[in-house]
Amino acid sequence: MSDLFVCLTFDHDNASSSISRNMLTPTAISRGDYGIPATDRILKLLDAEKIPTTWFIPGHTIESYPSCVKRVFEAGHEIGNHGWTHRVPASLGREGEEEELVRGNQAIVSLTGKKPSGYRSPAWDLSPHSIDLLLKHGFVYDSSMMGHDYLPYQARNGDQVPLLEKMVFGPDTKLVEMPISWSLDDHPHFEFFRTEHYVVPGLQNARSVFQNWLDEFAYFKKHNDWGILTYTFHPHVVGRGYRMLALEDMIAQLRAGGAKFVTMETAVAEYQRKFPAGLSLRGQ
């Protein structure tokens, strides 16, 4: 019997991502506010379908939108660390990155009563210090890297990547990596925004994008009898009505295809049971 696990994950950024990009006008902030009604829609759908999910929530969202995030927690979903601001870890230096982790944890403890087991970096860009810091602060897994599509693996630490010489891979660690992909993230496909330096066009056809995501599961199922596929959503992005309809249909088709919906915490436990020694990507 196949075990095809699917993790539906939500990066509950609300206004934090706009603020981190210095997009501070009332209109920019209001786009983050849209995460409030969107979250309610998503939670109703997940409750109706009895699907457990994982929400990576910046401390800024927890403290700025307390009622909104409380509903996520009370619905029984896993809460993971997504920093405090939505600033990119690679831009902060070791001390600044650690402050973000600690403050993010404090906000989550205030909401849930316990430290999170998982972390996802804002904008998916870890620093050379990240693995050390995640291990130091007791995280079990990270979900920020892209070394596989259907298999978790052990995160390496200390890779040496000189420009004109071969790579030297650092050792595997006990931190489990739950891989992701920009192609399976709603934000680059759908969210239009512009800054003084660039424009992200977004606004793609929802049904076409969701069909791509269903095709990803179809390939997963065709070539594997075990694995974990992770999709990434943002409430203020996927919560639009026509995208919610596509999400409802995708859930129905995934379930009909044999998908088992689990939190990332559960998926990590399944991986550790199946591969007690872990999987390595060192030099493969």
Q: pLDDT tens digits, residue range 69-120?
A: 999 999 999 999 999 999 999 899 999 999 999 999 999 999 999 999 999 9
Q: pLDDT tens digits, residue range 49-71?
A: 999 999 999 999 999 999 999 99
Structure-token match 């509950």, residue found: 12
Cα distance between residue 195 and residue 265, in whole Å: 36
Cα distance between residue 136 and residue 102, in whole Å: 11
Scanning the chain, the segments in alpha helix (DSSP H) are 16-20, 26-33, 35-49, 59-64, 66-74, 93-112, 130-136, 186-190, 206-223, 235-238, 241-256, 264-274
- SS3 string, 19-58, reads HHCCCCCHHHHHHHHCHHHHHHHHHHHHHHHCCCCEEEEC
- Residue boundaries of the structural domains of the chain: 3-274
Cα distance between residue 201 and residue 15, in whole Å: 19
Q: Of all helices (H) and strands (E), which one includes residue 140? A: none
261 - beta bridge partners? 6
pLDDT > 70: percent of the chain: 99
The domain covering 3-274 belongs, at the CATH homologous superfamily level, to Glycoside hydrolase/deacetylase (3.20.20.370)
Collapsed DSSP state (helix, strand, coil) of residue 259:
strand
Q: What angle do CA 69, 192, 71 make, to 5 degrees?
A: 10
Please report the pLDDT score of residue 193 as a whole number.
Answer: 78
Please report the pLDDT score of residue 283 as a whole number.
Answer: 62
Low-confidence ranges of the chain (pLDDT < 50): none
Q: Which two tokens stand for residue 142?
A: 């990270």
* Residue 144 main-chain phi, psi, to 5 deg: -135, -5
CA torsion angle for 145, 68, 233, 41 (degrees, to 10)? 160
